[in-house]
Amino acid sequence: MNRSVGLIGALAILVAACGGSGVTATTEATIQSVPSEPSATTVTTEAAPTADAPELGDTSWKVTTYRLPSGSMTNTWRTDVTISFAADGTLAGSAGCNDYQGTWAVSGPYDEFESGVPDPNDGQELILESLAWTEIACEDEAIMEQEGEILDLLLQGERWVLIRESFHLRDVDGSFLLEAESA
């Protein structure tokens, strides 16, 4: 309430109460519109900004760690396992002994990895298609086994995310498949 309106009202009541003294008082009060206090707090929120997806095209990576089907982790063994994403939507790499190629595309918004805890929505959908590879017999049986594991993981890949400048490939549930460093 405006203090001047309250004061004038109180003065008018006081003058009216003293009306028996022969004094006639005329009171004019001007009531001004005073913005009322909101009865509820109004909160204005803006939509969270969508993170710009890092560019995946024209990047090359060297796989450092991957998850075996049993769930255990392993490092690549005596070979360079690579993956390169060209800007034209093609990909190529070495599974250790044999080469592979295919096409790639991304879809949907990119969700930054921020919480420190993996989230199935981290990153962006990654579509790897038309994967084909050479089938040259490798000198070492362990390298051939590793190649099969790597190629299987690429076929399972559904999402990609950058975490501390490392490329991470994840499955549809957000589970870790492989990690690679910039090559």
The residue ranges of every structural domain in the chain are 1-36, 59-182
Residue 51 CA to residue 111 CA, distance in Å, equals 6
pLDDT of amino acid 87? 97
Output helix, strand, coil percentages for the chain, rounded to the nearest 5.
20, 35, 45
- DSSP letter (8 states) at residue 51: B
- What are the residues facing 163 on neighbouring strands? 166
Residue 95 CA to residue 117 CA, distance in Å, equals 29
- Residue 24 or 121, more confident: 121
Dihedral sign for Cα atoms in the order 75, 79, 81, 86: positive
Beta strand residue intervals within the chain, DSSP E: 59-67, 73-75, 82-85, 90-94, 99-111, 123-133, 159-163, 166-170, 176-182
- DSSP letter (8 states) at residue 164: T
Per-residue CA distances from 100 to 5, 20, 94, 106, 154 (Å): 84, 108, 6, 19, 10
Q: Residues 69-119: pLDDT tens digits?
A: 888 888 888 899 999 999 999 999 999 999 999 999 999 999 998 877 778
CATH architecture of the domain 59-182 equals: Beta Barrel (2.40)
Residue 135 CA to residue 144 CA, distance in Å, equals 10
pLDDT of amino acid 50? 52
Could you tell me the pTM of the whole model? 0.69
